[in-house]
Amino acid sequence: MEAMRLPGLIDESMDILRISDLRIGFTIHGLSRDVVKGASLRVPAGKTVALVGESGSGKTVISQAIMGLLPRAGSITGGEILFRDPLAPETVVDIATLPAEGEGIRALRGGRIGMIFQEPMSSLSPVHTIGNQIEEALLLHRPMPKAEARELIEAMLKRVGFKNPKRAFGLYSFELSGGLRQRAMLAMALICQPALLIADEPTTALDVTIQAQVLDLMRDLQAEMGMAILLITHDLGVVANMADEVVVIFHGEIMERGPVEDIFRRPRHPYLKALLDASPHFDMQDGERLVALREARPRPVVASPPPTPAADAAPLLSVRGLHKTYVTGSRSFFGKGTQTSVKAVDNVGFDIRRGECLGLVGESGCGKTTVSKIVMRAVTPDSGEVIFDDGRERVDVLGLDGEDLRRFRPRVQMIFQDPVSSLSPRMTVMNILREPLVIHGRGDPAEQNERVRGLMQDVGLDIRFLNRYPHSFSGGQRQRIGIARALALDPELIICDEPVSALDVSVQAQILNLLKDLQAERGLTFLFISHNLAVVNYMADRIAVMANGRIVELAPRHALFARPAHPYTRALLRSVPFADLDRKLDFKLAAPGGASDDSHWGAAFRVGPDETALTPLPLGDGHFVLARPSADIRELVP
Amino acid sequence: MLIRYILKRILIMIPTLIVTSALIFTVINLPEGDYFETLAAEMQAQGEKADMSRIEFLKKEYGFDKPPVERYVYWVAGLLQGDMGYSFEYQRPVREIVGDRLLLTMMVSFATIIFTWVVAFPIGIYSATHQYSWGDYGLTFLGLVGLAVPHFLLALVFMYFANIWFGTSIGGLVDPAYLNQPMSWAKLKSVLEHLWIPVIIIGAGGTAGMIRALRANLLDELQKQYYVTARAKGLPPGKALRKYPLRMSLNFFISDIGDILPSIVSGAEVVAIVLSLQTTGPLLIRALQSQDMYLAGSFLMFLSFLTVIGVLISDIALAILDPRIRLQGAATK
Supply the DSSP string of B243-288, one letter for each residue: IIIIHHHHHHHHHTHHHHHHHHHH--HHHHHHTT--SHHHHHHHHH
Contact A119 B235 (CB under 8 A): no
pLDDT band of residue A357 (cuts 50, 70, 90) is very high
Average pLDDT in the A286-314 region?
Answer: 67
Of B11, B233, B331, the CB nearest to A333: B11
Of A477-491, A587-601, B86-100, B240-254, give the range with the top mean pLDDT. Answer: A477-491
- Work out whether strand B86-87 and strand A412-415 pair parallel, antiparallel, or are unpaired: unpaired
> A94-131, pLDDT tens digit by residue?
998 888 788 888 989 989 999 998 888 889 998 899 99
Average pLDDT in the A278-306 region?
Answer: 71
Phi, psi of A365 (to 5 degrees): 85, 10
- Look at residue A9 in the predicted model and tell me its pLDDT: 40
What's the Rg (C-alpha) of chain B?
24
CB burial string A264-287: b at 16+ within 10 A, e below? beebeeebbebbbbbbbbeeeeee
Nearest to A478 by CA among A425, A526, A413: A425
- Look at residue A593 in the predicted model and tell me its pLDDT: 59
The shortest C-alpha distance from B131 to chain A (Å) reads 11
- Angle, nearest 10°, between helix axes A567-575 and A208-225? 50
- pLDDT < 70 positions in chain B: 1, 50, 264, 266-268, 328-333
Is A382 in CB contact (< 8 Å) with chain B? no
Mutation for A interface: B220, B233, B247, B327, most A CBs within 10 A: B233
Is B130 in CB contact (< 8 Å) with chain A? no
> B50-87, pLDDT tens digit by residue?
677 777 777 777 777 778 888 888 888 888 887 888 88
Tell me which of A282-291, A560-569, B66-75 is least confident: A282-291
- Look at residue B12 in the predicted model and tell me its pLDDT: 87
Contact A140 B234 (CB under 8 A): yes
Distances (CA, A) of A36 to A22, A25, B143: 7, 7, 40
The shortest C-alpha distance from B104 to chain A (Å) reads 39
Of B225, B321, B327, the CB nearest to A123: B225
Q: Which residue has the higher pLDDT, B205 or A2?
A: B205
Q: Which residue of A has its CA nearest to B320?
A: A127
- Look at residue A5 in the predicted model and tell me its pLDDT: 38
Rounded CA-CA distance B211/B126 in Å is: 10
Distances (CA, A) of A443 to A436, A570, B230: 11, 51, 56
Percentage of chain B beyond pLDDT 70 is 95
Of B224, B233, B237, the CB nearest to A101: B237
Q: Is the pLDDT of residue A192 over 80?
A: yes
Q: Which long-range contacts (CB under 8 A, 24 or more apart) does B156-159 make?
A: B156/B274, B158/B197, B158/B200, B158/B201, B159/B197, B159/B275
Rounded CA-CA distance A253/A85 in Å is: 27
Rounded CA-CA distance A555/B201 in Å is: 74
- Look at residue A6 in the predicted model and tell me its pLDDT: 38
- Look at residue B30 in the predicted model and tell me its pLDDT: 78
Contacts of B248 in chain A (CB under 8 A): 125, 127
Is B3 in CB contact (< 8 Å) with chain A? no
What's the Rg (C-alpha) of chain A?
27
Nearest to A315 by CA among A391, A368, A377: A391
- Look at residue B292 in the predicted model and tell me its pLDDT: 81
Tell me which of A90-94, A371-375, A430-434, B28-32 is least confident: B28-32
Q: Which residue has the higher pLDDT, A432 or B64?
A: A432
Q: Is the pLDDT of residue A312 over 90?
A: no
Is A340 in CB contact (< 8 Å) with chain B? no
Percentage of chain A beyond pLDDT 70 is 90
pLDDT band of residue A412 (cuts 50, 70, 90) is very high
pLDDT band of residue A636 (cuts 50, 70, 90) is low
Query: Which residues, 6+ apart, have CB-to-CB distance to A398 below 8 Å?
Result: A374, A377, A380, A381, A384, A385, A386
Query: Which residues, 6+ apart, have CB-to-CB distance to B197 below 8 Å?
Result: B155, B158, B159, B162, B168, B275
pLDDT band of residue A592 (cuts 50, 70, 90) is low
- Look at residue A303 in the predicted model and tell me its pLDDT: 54
Query: Which residues, 6+ apart, have CB-to-CB distance to B322 below 8 Å?
Result: A126, A127, B251
- Look at residue B154 in the predicted model and tell me its pLDDT: 83
Compute the half-sphere exposure of residue A439: CA atoms within 13 Å on the CB side of its CA.
15
Query: Which residues, 6+ apart, have CB-to-CB distance to A111 below 8 Å?
Result: A140, A141, A192, A194, B234
Q: Which residue of A has its CA nearest to B323?
A: A127
- Angle, nearest 10°, between helix axes B247-255 and B185-222? 130
Q: Count Cβ atoms below 10 Å from residue A375 Cβ, excluding itself.
A: 23
Contact A174 B225 (CB under 8 A): no
- Contact, A358 vs A541, CB < 8 A? yes
Contact B228 A110 (CB under 8 A): no
Average pLDDT in the A356-377 region?
Answer: 89
In this prediction the ipTM stands at: 0.75
Q: Which residue of A has its CA nearest to B245?
A: A125
- Work out whether strand A542-547 and strand A357-361 pair parallel, antiparallel, or are unpaired: parallel
- Look at residue A329 in the predicted model and tell me its pLDDT: 56
3-state helix, strand, coil in chain A (%, to 5): 35, 25, 40
Is A123 in CB contact (< 8 Å) with chain B? yes
Q: What is the DSSP letter of A467?
A: G
Q: Which residue of B has its CA nearest to A171?
A: B323
Dihedral (CA of A555, A559, A563, A564) sign:
positive
Is A394 in CB contact (< 8 Å) with chain B? no
Is A115 in CB contact (< 8 Å) with chain B? yes
Contacts of A174 in chain B (CB under 8 A): 323-324, 327-328
- Look at residue A621 in the predicted model and tell me its pLDDT: 82
Phi, psi of A360 (to 5 degrees): -120, 110
- Look at residue A615 in the predicted model and tell me its pLDDT: 84
Rounded CA-CA distance A136/A188 in Å is: 9
> A60-84, pLDDT tens digit by residue?
899 999 998 888 888 899 899 999 9
Average pLDDT in the A428-441 region?
Answer: 93
As a whole number, the mean pLDDT across chain A is 85
Alpha helices in A582-630 (DSSP H): none
- Contact, B120 vs B210, CB < 8 A? yes
- Angle, nearest 10°, between helix axes B35-45 and B52-61? 160
DSSP for B161-185, please give it: HIIIII-PPSSSSS-GGGTTSPP-H
Alpha helices in A199-242 (DSSP H): 208-225, 236-242
Percentage of chain A beyond pLDDT 90 is 35
Q: Is the pLDDT of residue A229 over 80?
A: yes
> A329-354, pLDDT tens digit by residue?
554 444 445 567 778 898 899 999 98
Q: Is the pLDDT of residue A245 over 90?
A: yes
Q: Which residue of A has its CA nearest to B222?
A: A71
pLDDT band of residue A157 (cuts 50, 70, 90) is very high
Rounded CA-CA distance B194/B169 in Å is: 8
